[in-house]
Amino acid sequence: MLELRTASTVFAHTHTCLWRNAIGIISPRYVSIQVIAAKETGTQAPVKRIENCSFLYTRHLNMYFVALTRSNVNPALVFEYLFQKIRILKAYLGEEFDENSMRNNMTLIYELMDETMDFGYPQNCAVDVLRLYINLGSIRQQDEPDASQLTSQITGAIDWRREGIRHKRNEVYIDVLESVNLLMSSTGDILRNEVTAQVQMNTKLTGMPECKFGLNDKLVIEQESNQNRKPGVEIDDCTFHRCVRLGKFDADRTITFIPPDGEFELMRYRVTDNINLPFRIIPAVREMQDQNR
């Protein structure tokens, strides 16, 4: 993989840093002409093939993050990595990091490249874990972890949470954020109506707690023999944070996980049936021709 960044004035400034580059050096200038200059005019797809090599790129402010590959990889994986990379850099360098702050933190960026990517395979991208052993930039180390513990932490199955977290008060905040979409015709017919939602969590829990989360999911409530319950909601298209055990969810729709410490998005879902519209709007619009004027 190769990371390349340029200022938006493409030709004036092209800067590359090659990192374990198995592809060979393709002129960065050529890339900027083919990929970035074309992007400036709009309409270009975020994947471009030049000389048998795929360029996948995304943008942060006026910087391009470009991944290169010669093999037939899953583009979603590559983009996820690029987005994670930008998220990590935001955590280290601030939300609005730019070319200058990247240049001033070159060593940090090399270290982060080293940890998040090995031989073209994405590795650990969890900021909370990275901050344990890379503590340059605005992220400072909170407490010194044990070196032996560190290895098992990074290579272990649960890389989003470290051992030995302590909180005086054990608290969990859950936010259910729903967004209603509605399109109603002028005659009052509903043309489109759905709810998309996120469940945000902020956990302050000690140790490695096992959590079980339950919504009034129709499928779960039907399983329970208890008849006098209110019927549940049909929940579609659930997607989860990677801490959730998907096997368990597929088997019996229970949501179990060991949460990361702090804020994270536990899940997203969509509901399309039986939506309670918060507002009803009844418009009457008349266009008139007034003769008196």
Partner 1 sequence: MTDSQLAFNRVSINLKIIAQFAQSLFATHVVVKIPVPKNTAKTKIKTSFGRAKYEPEQQAIVWRVKRFPGKSECILGADIDLMPTVRNKAWARPPINVEFQVPMFTASGVNVRFLRVFDKSGYTTSRWVRYITKAGGYQVRI
**Site of interaction with partner 1 (CB under 8 A):** 169-186, 195-197, 205-216, 233, 235, 269, 271, 274-290, 293
CB closer to partner 1 out of 62 and 181: 181
CB atoms within 10 A of CB 106: 10
d(C-alpha 220, C-alpha 248), whole Å: 13
Coil vs helix vs strand at 104: helix
d(C-alpha 99, C-alpha 121), whole Å: 25
CB closer to partner 1 out of 94 and 214: 214
Q: Which two tokens stand for residue 182?
A: 């509605």
Could you tell me the CA-to-CA distances from 238 to 51, 204, 265 in Å, in that order? 40, 25, 12
Report in angstroms how near the CB of residue 1 gets to partner 1 at its nearest: 36
Q: Which two tokens stand for residue 39?
A: 């992007």
Q: Are 232 and 219 in contact (CB under 8 A)?
A: yes
CB closer to partner 1 out of 41 and 185: 185
Report in angstroms how near the CB of residue 155 gets to partner 1 at its nearest: 23
Report in angstroms how near the CB of residue 124 gets to partner 1 at its nearest: 24
CB closer to partner 1 out of 82 and 267: 267
Coil vs helix vs strand at 202: strand
3-state SS of 111-126 is: HHHHHHEECCEECCCC
CB closer to partner 1 out of 250 and 287: 287
Report in angstroms how near the CB of residue 216 gets to partner 1 at its nearest: 5
Report in angstroms how near the CB of residue 250 gets to partner 1 at its nearest: 20
Q: Angle 106-116/75-93 helices, nearest 10 degrees?
A: 140
d(C-alpha 1, C-alpha 21), whole Å: 6
Q: Are 138 and 92 in contact (CB under 8 A)?
A: yes
CB closer to partner 1 out of 74 and 289: 289
Report in angstroms how near the CB of residue 142 gets to partner 1 at its nearest: 21
Give me the residues paired with residue 267 across strands: 199, 240
CB closer to partner 1 out of 73 and 174: 174
Report in angstroms how near the CB of residue 180 gets to partner 1 at its nearest: 4
